[in-house]
Structure 1
Amino acid sequence: MHTESFSLLCEISGDQMFRMLKVNMKTVVSLLVFVSFCFPALAAESIKAPHVNISWLAPEKLSRISPDTIGIKFNIDPEWHIYWKNSGDSGAPPKFNFKSGNYTVGPAQWPIPKRISVGHLVNLGYERETAFLFQIAAGDVPGANSDLNLTLDLEWLVCKEECIPGITEISLSRPLIDGDSVWATAIKKQRDHFASQTPRADESPWDLKLVEKTDEKLVVSVEVKSGSSPDLFPIDGEYVNPQSPKVENVGEETQYSFSVPAGRGSPSKLSFLGVRGDESWEQDIDLAAVVNSIASGSAISSSRSSSDNSADQASLVSLLLFAFLGGIILNLMPCVLPVLSIKFLSILKTSIAERRKESLLYLAGILTTFFILGSVFLGLRSAGAAIGWGFQLQSPYIILFLILLFWLMALNFLDVFEFGDSIMNVAGNMNSAGSFSTGVLAVFVAAPCTGPFMGTALGAAATLPAAPALGIFLSLGLGLGIPFVLVSFIPSLFKLMPKPGAWMDRLKQFLAFPLIGTVIWLMWVLGIQLGSDGWLLACTLLLLIALSFWLGKTASRVVKVVAIVVALVSIGASFMAVPKVQKSISTSAVTTTTNSSGWVKYDRAQIDQARARGQAVFVDFTAAWCITCQLNKKAVLETRAAQKVFQDNDVLVMRADWTNQDPVITKALAEFNRNSVPVYLFYGKGTSKSAEAQILPQILTISMIENLFNKKE
């Protein structure tokens, strides 16, 4: 190994060195021998690293008045490759971070890639040699009259069957002149060669349009305006597989049929690189416009449009049904059941007309709240925010608010305080404001719960147009409110209700304990989000709130005022302390990445590597505030039986913790048309077919885990 390699190894951090050891064990001996000789490496204009040589394509003198194009060239060992901006089934593209005080550097210009097969995977990248080009210009940047001093932080991944990550700093220093840049002939010839392979800016010789989009394939039609048909490469690998498309001529057009990953949904547009020889053009297809065109019958035949619309309508009906059933099941969750029970108790002594009126107001409160939450959710998603259902619970402020809310409800149910505006009266009073407010309250207390059927419906809501998406949210709300409405409107159901009596007070007090249990659980969630200080903050708040109610029972007006001040100050101070607590902790202190059961933190690259070597993968998308997630974890996933199944079958078990907002996990959920947790994915081992992700039900059993491996591959 040459001196430049020593310098590169010295620049690699401990974490990166560890990953390199995992990926390519052949380098272990070399690293152990040379690590003791490492010393700080100075940035150079060329780098020699394992299986790649990296150098600049730059002029000898650079113009200070005219923009120019420079490049970073990779010379790659035979049988090894690096990656395009869409790396394909595995791998990762190079990353470029320029630092220059006196010049501006444009985005990377990517040469034409090729498809590279590695086992059953198809990657998109480069073999032997390539160069990434960048436009550089002084413009009005201060200090542009001085010489150019440019530094590039560069990361790459070079692969054969194993992969070696690299990271280094490479510099470029050039004198500036007032005329045109001065190039060495050989260097300029190389730069121009790679520049000819980057996408052209003039009009494309082809017109692209979408013909068909299903869960299994995407068909693109290409009309050739001049020359021959292109080879197409998908630029966004999240929605289109990298394998070569099936090409067939249909009349005067050529149709390209691509396979698509399962459960990824549809973006607003797709981009393709069309290649003909050494020339290429990038083109976009506006999927939203095309979908509307298809729906109106202008893109496909009327008979096919009719059948597709019927299928879409049937699919929407099933999603609405799933949301409705999920809403019904929410009534049985420990967060909602106490509120619903009190509401049922409140109608035992009322007239038929009165209870029917109040049940409709209760339903109106639920539907209004779901409509507002759904609108906010869809609005944030359309604005590009990486969120999903339950996003409100990723905020410590909301968790602290719910802790306070459930604590007040529990104290009220235990008769610690009773006055006109108590939560108990809001939940049980038979008046318009009380019933509507109870509906609003039911939605908020239901937020931590995601029951069966809800995941599919809420996931689809993120990709549907606004009207059907809001329909799904309203169907969920209708399911939540319909039991109370049915009991109020159907006499035979109302007769099943027990007669009023002293038992009602005992039941009310008993229902306080599930609420206290919910408080304890939410404090645990806050502890995960904010560390041990989160526990202390919440406990102090609840202690002071309880103290204020005790002080408020005295006959002294002064003491009552003190009680109100204590309550208000403690609430205000607690919420104001949240940012300070957040700053005092680090992510590593909050989130557990591994545990004794072998679970590792979510890492898409690690999944790709496991699939490439034929290893099965199980992914648990979870959150501390998700009750269903925690039940599945304790009852199934972390039992000895499940651990034995995973170990016996050499399964990589991975946990994607969504307790705090994480755009990477949000994006991963969106790839499978999901925006809520729990979600459980299983990638079978071996063939590419079995390696496709299987989405498991939201309620798990040990037999489900065992059956994953009892099936014949």
Structure 2
Amino acid sequence: MLMAALLAVVGLPAMAAEPGASEWATSESGKVRLISATTAIGDSAQLRLGLHFKLEPGWKIYWRTPGDAGYPPKLDWTGSANLDNPQPHWPAPHRFVLAGLQNYGYAGEVILPLDARAPDASRPVAARLAVDFLACAQICVPQKAELGLDLSTGPAEPSAFAHDIGRFAALVPGDGRRHGLSLDGAEALGSGETSALRLTVSSTEPFTDPDAFVEAEDVAAFGQPRVSLSPDRRRAEFHIPVPAGALLKPLAGAPMSVTVTDGMRAFETRMVPVPGTAAPMAAGEAPGLAGMLLVALLGGLILNLMPCVLPVLSIKVIGVLAHGGGERSHVRASFVASGVGIVASFLALAALAIGLKQAGAAVGWGIQFQQPGFLALMVVLLALFAANLWGMFEIPMPAFLFNRGGGVPHHTVLGHFLSGAFATLLATPCSAPFLGTAIGFALARGPAEIAMIFTALGIGMAVPYLAVAIWPDAALKLPKPGRWMVTVRKVLGLALAGTGVWLLSVLMVQAGIWAALITGGAMAAAVATLGLRHRLPAAARPAVTACVVALAGLALAAPFHGSANGEAGPEAGGAVTWGRFDNQSVARLVSEGKVVFVDVTADWCITCKVNKAAVIERGEVARRLSSPGVVALRADWTRPDESISRYLASFGRYGIPFNAVYGPSAPDGIALAELLSEAEVLAALDRAR
């Protein structure tokens, strides 16, 4: 027995190799070899190899995430020739209980498919693999095998192992579409030693033996799931506890992945759990969906009245005025097109949110304004829209975005559609009553709910357009277009230019003052160049167009070469002195008997600025926030910050503004409405004491 173990540890061969395979390395636990799906390299640089384990009864090896103990096979390809580092794929694991520990791995026989590449198809491949793995039965024995496989040049005929490698490759979890499996929701329950995950998974076929394996950097291990099935067995709810001491960070907002298995079916996906309620959701139930659709409809409608949408009014007003004295059919078609553009843009945002959520990335309302490149793009578009309203150009160069984008009276259907889309884009840095509630509900659910809620938001924002489409006489009664519109266009162009200046101030925070100066200066020069266009001969106008394009390119490139300003410290000089937000310090301050007011804001969030000017830093609220026993903390989300994203997610929020009040009577925090009122803030401060 000892001799057999020693032979396995040093990887001595036990039997002769077959064509397309290395020799077996044997031990007490079983044997392992390296195999190939082809007998030679062939013309393709791609190779399919496999690491083939045959284990004795009672012995097991580990998956890439082993569970409570153990470690996965470790592969070292040092010494190989004409072979890039092959990457293993992991068939769906099984759950084992060994000495009271939950472990994930394989028993019997398993092949780990390996995707490999031969850089030079004219040279043979020499695969040399040192594999370290842990095999366990009643005891665990570390193993090491030295394997070698040579593949010659020539036609790549299927080997005797092609079918076996393909059979185990089919057991590697995909995205679930092939097996009709999908993740509908991931929620974090409880806190500390009572933390757990609740996953909801749907299936087109009845479940037979479902299981779930969760992997997360900040959780040492997960317990065995408790599974509840719907009456038709097509919906499974997994309650997965976190053992005491295994949780390193809060579950809510933490990126992780899950592998769900059901017999021979399996799928794998990324997820970011959101805060959940303790009560489980009944099978097939979507609590409050109908009511939440109405909330989303109202949120989208109110979004038209929020300050961030005011710059878009220049485009809206010009579009409406252009219809004065026009034909009813043209009015109806143009406003329907604008409404469809808004709804389509919200659907595009929904698709983006679904994709980011499935990939495990942070999602939120308006987070694109955290990206300097996006800010520069908006500055460029706003500057060109303003120049168009000022009459500096009417056609050629930006015809697709401007003549067709709502900048001139002679709109096309596509132009109205694009103006609606642009209105949506500029509306995203704003929040509104009902909007945050609807967004939070959607992003805590599955793709279907996200699509429905975002569609309702789009319809709500499009209601004014659709109303004019239904009653076109409202636009037809306006004065006919005339010289007076030139003055209106100039005034509204100034509104767009002002919006661009505001975005430059945000860009300065994110990418530095030089990036903002270069972007702003380049677009100012571009607008000035467009102003000279009509004074030049026709032959010189292509050069003007080229100059404007070059300046716009410079404006877009500047943020990528800038450097962000340092992190802001505590703010002073206003009506309230702010400390820097730190989630851990909140609990400490509350334990000291303090009341804590948290303000999550960003330079690009206009609703945040309205709250600050109208409520937070004036009158009785400012006096209370500056009084003894009250601490004001500000979290700046101008740039991406994962800790702030997780904090928002812990309240089921995915956008800002967000404000919360903590205190001895409210240690978990009182979340306030998006649009603050003095009475609400003062009442929360009193309740938290």
Q: Which TM bucket (shorter chain)?
A: 0.5 to 0.7
Identify which of 267, 271, 283 aligns with 2:224: 283
Verify: 1:576 aligned to 2:526, yes or no.
Answer: no
Do the aligned partners of 1:320 and 1:471 also contact (CA within 8 Å) in 2? no
Q: 2:428 maps to which residue?
A: 447
Identify which of 184, 187, 201 aligns with 2:103: 201
Q: 2:465 maps to which residue?
A: 484
Shift of 1:402: 0.7
Shift of 1:506: 2.3
Do the aligned partners of 2:404 and 2:414 also contact (CA within 8 Å) in 1? no
Verify: 1:369 aligned to 2:345, yes or no.
Answer: yes
Verify: 1:438 aligned to 2:422, yes or no.
Answer: no
Do the aligned partners of 1:552 and 1:560 also contact (CA within 8 Å) in 2? yes
Name the aligned partner's letter for residue 618 of structure 1. F
Q: 2:359 maps to which residue?
A: 383
Shift of 1:369: 1.8
Give the Cα separation in 2 of the matches to 1:580 and 1:444.
25
Q: 1:423 maps to which residue?
A: 402
Do the aligned partners of 2:296 and 2:435 also contact (CA within 8 Å) in 1? no
Q: 1:530 maps to which residue?
A: 511
Shift of 1:673: 1.5
Shift of 1:238: 5.0
Q: 2:381 maps to which residue?
A: 405
Q: 2:494 maps to which residue?
A: 513
Name the aligned partner's letter for residue 446 of structure 1. A
Shift of 1:530: 0.9
Give the Cα separation in 1 of the matches to 2:449 and 2:320.
32
The residue correspondences of 1:447-466 to structure 2 (distance < 5 A) are 447-466=428-447
Q: 2:548 maps to which residue?
A: 567
Do the aligned partners of 2:441 and 2:652 also contact (CA within 8 Å) in 1? yes
Shift of 1:437: 1.9
Name the aligned partner's letter for residue 619 of structure 1. V
Do the aligned partners of 1:449 and 1:627 also contact (CA within 8 Å) in 2? yes
Question: Kindly tell me: are residues 267 and 328 of structure 1, through their superposed partners in 2, closer, same or farther at Cα, counting changes over 3 Å?
Answer: farther
Name the aligned partner's letter for residue 199 of structure 1. L
Do the aligned partners of 2:338 and 2:419 also contact (CA within 8 Å) in 1? yes
Give the Cα separation in 2 of the matches to 1:558 and 1:311.
65
Matched position secondary structure for 1:416: coil
Q: 2:677 maps to which residue?
A: 701
Matched position secondary structure for 2:191: coil
Name the aligned partner's letter for residue 318 of structure 2. I
Give the Cα separation in 2 of the matches to 1:395 and 1:578.
9
Give the Cα separation in 2 of the matches to 1:271 and 1:484.
48
Q: 2:324 maps to which residue?
A: 348
Q: Name stretches of at least 5 consecutive residues in structure 2 with no aligned partner.
A: 1-8, 12-63, 80-97, 106-185, 202-210, 215-220, 240-279
Matched position secondary structure for 2:652: coil
Shift of 1:197: 9.4
Give the Cα separation in 2 of the matches to 1:312 and 1:237.
17
Give the Cα separation in 2 of the matches to 1:594 and 1:271.
43
Shift of 1:614: 3.4
Give the Cα separation in 1 of the matches to 2:592 and 2:231.
38
Question: Kindly tell me: are residues 429 and 649 of structure 1, through their superposed partners in 2, closer, same or farther at Cα, counting changes over 3 Å?
Answer: farther
Identify which of 176, 189, 195 aligns with 1:239: 189
Give the Cα separation in 1 of the matches to 2:393 and 2:416.
21
Shift of 1:198: 8.2
Question: Kindly tell me: are residues 466 and 553 of structure 1, through their superposed partners in 2, closer, same or farther at Cα, counting changes over 3 Å?
Answer: same
Question: Kindly tell me: are residues 373 and 135 of structure 1, through their superposed partners in 2, closer, same or farther at Cα, counting changes over 3 Å?
Answer: closer
Do the aligned partners of 1:270 and 1:285 also contact (CA within 8 Å) in 2? no
Name the aligned partner's letter for residue 225 of structure 2. D
Shift of 1:632: 1.5
Q: Name stretches of at least 5 consecutive residues in structure 1 with no aligned partner.
A: 1-63, 67-105, 111-132, 144-195, 204-235, 245-257, 273-279
Question: Kindly tell me: are residues 655 and 487 of structure 1, through their superposed partners in 2, closer, same or farther at Cα, counting changes over 3 Å?
Answer: same
Coordinate RMSD, CA, aligned: 4.1
Give the Cα separation in 2 of the matches to 1:240 and 1:641.
36
Cα deviation, 1:283-324, whole Å, max 9, x if unaligned, reads 13579x77996979999xxxx999994843444334433444
Matched position secondary structure for 1:423: coil
Q: 2:59 maps to which residue?
A: none
Shift of 1:640: 6.4
Q: 2:596 maps to which residue?
A: 617
Shift of 1:375: 0.2
Give the Cα separation in 2 of the matches to 1:591 and 1:344.
44
Give the Cα separation in 2 of the matches to 1:679 and 1:265.
26
Name the aligned partner's letter for residue 320 of structure 2. F
Cα deviation, 1:412-457, whole Å, max 9, x if unaligned, reads 2222333363726631434222222222222222232222221111
Shift of 1:624: 1.2
Matched position secondary structure for 2:626: helix
Question: Kindly tell me: are residues 555 and 500 of structure 1, through their superposed partners in 2, closer, same or farther at Cα, counting changes over 3 Å?
Answer: closer
Name the aligned partner's letter for residue 376 of structure 1. L
Do the aligned partners of 2:345 and 2:424 also contact (CA within 8 Å) in 1? yes
Identify which of 635, 659, 676 aligns with 1:680: 659
What is the aligned length? 470
Question: Kindly tell me: are residues 444 and 525 of structure 1, through their superposed partners in 2, closer, same or farther at Cα, counting changes over 3 Å?
Answer: same
The residue correspondences of 1:68-83 to structure 2 (distance < 5 A) are none
| Structure holding more helix per residue | 1
Verify: 1:473 aligned to 2:454, yes or no.
Answer: yes
Q: 1:549 maps to which residue?
A: 530
Shift of 1:271: 8.9
Identify which of 616, 627, 630 aligns with 1:651: 630
Name the aligned partner's letter for residue 201 of structure 1. N
Give the Cα separation in 2 of the matches to 1:540 and 1:665.
33
Aligned residues with identical type, % of pairs: 24
Q: 1:661 maps to which residue?
A: 640
Shift of 1:200: 4.2
Verify: 1:601 aligned to 2:542, yes or no.
Answer: no
Question: Kindly tell me: are residues 516 and 281 of structure 1, through their superposed partners in 2, closer, same or farther at Cα, counting changes over 3 Å?
Answer: closer
Give the Cα separation in 2 of the matches to 1:616 and 1:517.
38
Question: Kindly tell me: are residues 697 and 432 of structure 1, through their superposed partners in 2, closer, same or farther at Cα, counting changes over 3 Å?
Answer: same
Give the Cα separation in 2 of the matches to 1:649 and 1:267.
47
Give the Cα separation in 2 of the matches to 1:356 and 1:241.
54
Matched position secondary structure for 2:667: coil
Name the aligned partner's letter for residue 664 of structure 2. G
Give the Cα separation in 1 of the matches to 2:469 and 2:313.
17
Do the aligned partners of 1:623 and 1:629 also contact (CA within 8 Å) in 2? yes
Give the Cα separation in 2 of the matches to 1:333 and 1:546.
23
Shift of 1:572: 2.0
Q: 2:145 maps to which residue?
A: none
Give the Cα separation in 2 of the matches to 1:265 and 1:505.
60
Do the aligned partners of 2:292 and 2:438 also contact (CA within 8 Å) in 1? no
Do the aligned partners of 2:299 and 2:460 also contact (CA within 8 Å) in 1? yes
Give the Cα separation in 1 of the matches to 2:325 and 2:222.
74
Give the Cα separation in 2 of the matches to 1:539 and 1:463.
39
